[in-house]
Structure 1
Amino acid sequence: MGVVVPLDEAREPKGLAPLFEIVAEDMKAINRIILDKAVSDVELIPKLTHHLVNSGGKRLRPMLAIASAKLCGYDGPKHVPTAAAIEFMHTATLLHDDVVDESDTRRGRKTARLIWGNQTTVLVGDFLLGQAFRMLVEVGSLPVLRILSNAAATIAEGEVMQLAAAKNTATTEDAYLEIIDAKTAALFAAASEVGGAIAERPADEQAALRSYGRNLGLAFQLVDDALDYSGDSKSLGKSVGDDFREGKITLPVILSFRRGTSRDREFWNRTIVTGELGDGDLEHAIALMRKHKTIESTLERARSYGSIAHDALEIFPPSREKSAMQDVIDFCISRAH
């Protein structure tokens, strides 16, 4: 008999109420699929999966898949298992991310790797990816399988690119945007595009949904980058400055390094490259970002990508789904305020 762990009811994040209302019934079905597909005779698999799935994530990606399908007028059954597969893909990438980044906390809780170890965490992530593609085979749509398999490969490429850029203060803004385009935006783009693919909409509509998701994903990640140095622990679900303590190269650091004096660059090389952190270093990093207005610049870029995402949806006629998907953009940007 397989081992199963109960799944908490999905939470309704403030600012996403219109989207949540549209997808609520389908998300209940997705929860049931997640419960079913997380079952395993290997006890650690459902335990570890439950630990992450129930840690308070917004589940934006599967919700976008559901909303985009409804936006395109789809009323069949394929969007639900497709969205569940997307959530499994996302969960797998989080498990792998935490191992690669050596993260100790996620959403205010200990990471799976800290509890069960790196090897177990990576292997369970692989299991979830396998389950995701099993579900997609059952969906039986080659276009959907193509979109999501391409996304899986792109995300892995993004992880490798991030490793190559790790602790490298010479990383350019263009190189960083390429990394987050692959690591983060690719799954947002795929989740949005599959709705059009399932509904067999014209190529221009599918491309518009892909553009919406990609630019939303870029904006989402850039706001996250800014919040790590300007947010508060309660809203972040993690400690302010985690990226700094982990030596992550993000856009606020890249811009601060470029705009700073030679003394400022020595500081960034000491803290980011060599990892020599002392008392007051986080506060000094934040002060440098304020001095050079790099948080503002990061958020300005996020708003620009958000505007592109808004415009991408304009080819669709007015609808509840279109309005809700535009509200998602505003929600992602507004997290910085």
Structure 2
Amino acid sequence: MLPDYYPYIRDTITITDRLNEFCTRPSIGPVFLIGRIVKHEAGCNLRATANRVIIVADVYDGTNGMIDASASSRGGPGGTVTVMCRRSINARVNASGGYGAAGAAGTNGVPGTPGYHSDGYWETVTDPVTGETRDVWHPDVDIPGADPTNGGQGGPGGPGGNGGSITFTSIKDTTPPDLSAAGGVGGPGGPGGTAAQGPYSEGSADGEPGVDGPWGADGQVNVITLAEADYVAGLRPLLDSTGPSYANYWAPYRIATGEYFYHLYNPNVPDGAEYGALAGIEFKRALELQPDNVDALRLQRQLVGFAPAPGAVWVGGGTNEKCAS
């Protein structure tokens, strides 16, 4: 069951249809998706139009889907998407404006009428002063015929929606991100009305089509590549940008995840050796958000030695050594 609050924090977040429901619920602020890894279920795009979506992750993997913030209505604007990740893979974000609505059809032409001679006719008129009515005889008149009318011009097409906004920040991109916030195409002009049909329609012409609507304005696409130190410095400002300190939500979560990996770490078990590196990374990431967090510092110091990188060995206090014996 998905929670009823933001942010949505997991070690690994998989974009599914169920998560899309969570992201599109009414919200007074942006939806934060925060995790070590954010990826897509095969064929599942993240729909991001009703709310601004902010993704913060160590790795954003768009291999199986994309972030679709394109307009959800005719002539509507694209959405707003922010992605901040250490590394991206096959990232695709579309925040294009919607197509303009088609113009209305012009009115159809009306057949003409033949002229004729009348020996006379009665007409009831009302006195504008007294309000009394009386019948008036019009003797011996010629009634002129009416020419047929042409079809009317079609209505103009609606304007295309403006493109949205994409801010994509990373340290490294395995593949260049594919980002678009183009303005939407203007709607086609409506068709002209048809010429008058039937008797007394000779000379009537079809109406001209309406003019196409204007394109929407292109949105903004900001691609930012940062060094490690600058990336870390920018995390808290983004996580805390809406008021609540989501950095203070994520740091304890990363510590708890690191402690879970910490207890799984066993260098003598083939599937257990990798957990030392994972635990060390989680404690390090937590300390980037809360440098004085005593739990992260304590657990980091207790971690049994392992090689997080070639040539580097971290020798800890050995409190979890029983797991490795």
Higher relative contact order (CA 8 A, sep 6+): 1
More strand per residue: 1 or 2?
Answer: 2
TM over 0.5: no
Higher helix share: 1
TM-score by length of 1: 0.29
Structure with greater Cα Rg: 2
